[in-house]
Amino acid sequence: MADLLLALDVKGKTEAVRVANACTGEVDAIKIGYPLVLSTGLGIVKDLTNAEIPIIADFKVADIPNTNTLICEEVFGAGCSGIITHAFCGSDSLAACVDAAHDHGGVCFVVCEMSHPGALDFLSGDNAVRMAEMAKAAGADGIIAPATRPERTAMLRGVIGDAMKIYSPGVGAQGAQPEDVKKYVDGIIVGRAIYEATDPKAAAHEFRVRAR
């Protein structure tokens, strides 16, 4: 049984609030990232938290520890409850994000293997295993692993154990189905298949039911 996270990669406040309001009650969290925040500013978090849904900032943080800490302070200060970071900058950079998240009562998720075909160039294989081990050692709350490669996500579950969560993108527009991964993960991430749907609420409802 997996939660449903809406990847709200729309542009502008009007569209973001329209989709978020439509999906209220059907999604367990909203993931925001550069497309939305660069088009609206971080103030969009307050507009979305009116719906009282947890907001996770997918900024795939990847810098030196001090810069990572500064980014996290802005994210959690704006009202987000989670941050998604990369691990490839090293254990000190990763620790900065985990520590900042926990200092603010939030959660930190670590990208280990990505869902798109190009992930096979670097963000996969032994590198993914190593980053999952780094995420566990850093005390991260969970990892990001691909619904498009369920066997890899199952393997990464074995690396991190059951105490950490896995959120899994790739369902819908990228071709994966909720049934492919729901037994391995705690949440599926769906973007275009919901926010581009004629009826986002109905689409979210269907994904939520299928993820259960």
State residue 50 phi and psi, 5-degree precision: -55, -30
Residue closer to ligand BMP, measured from CB, 106 or 170: 170
Residue span 90-109 as binding mask against ligand BMP, x where in contact by CB under 6 A, dash where not: --------------------
Handedness of CA 94, 97, 103, 105 (dihedral sign): negative
Kindly give the interhelix angle for 125-138 and 91-103, rounded to the nearest 10 degrees. 40
How far CA 52 is from CA of 25, 32, 81, 106, in Å, comes to 10, 15, 11, 15
Compute the distance between CA of residue 87 and CA of residue 142 in angstroms, rounded to an integer. Answer: 12
Q: Which of 13, 136, 192, 205 binds ligand BMP (CB under 6 A)?
A: 192
Residue span 112-131 as binding mask against ligand BMP, x where in contact by CB under 6 A, dash where not: --xx----------------
Residue closer to ligand BMP, measured from CB, 75 or 190: 190
Beta bridge partner(s), residue 29: 5
Footprint on residues 26-45 left by ligand BMP (CB under 6 A)? 33
Give the range of 42-50, 71-79, 167-175, 178-186 binding ligand BMP by CB under 6 A.
167-175
Q: Which residues bind ligand BMP (CB under 6 A)?
A: 7, 9, 33, 58, 111, 114-115, 144, 146, 169-170, 172-174, 189-193
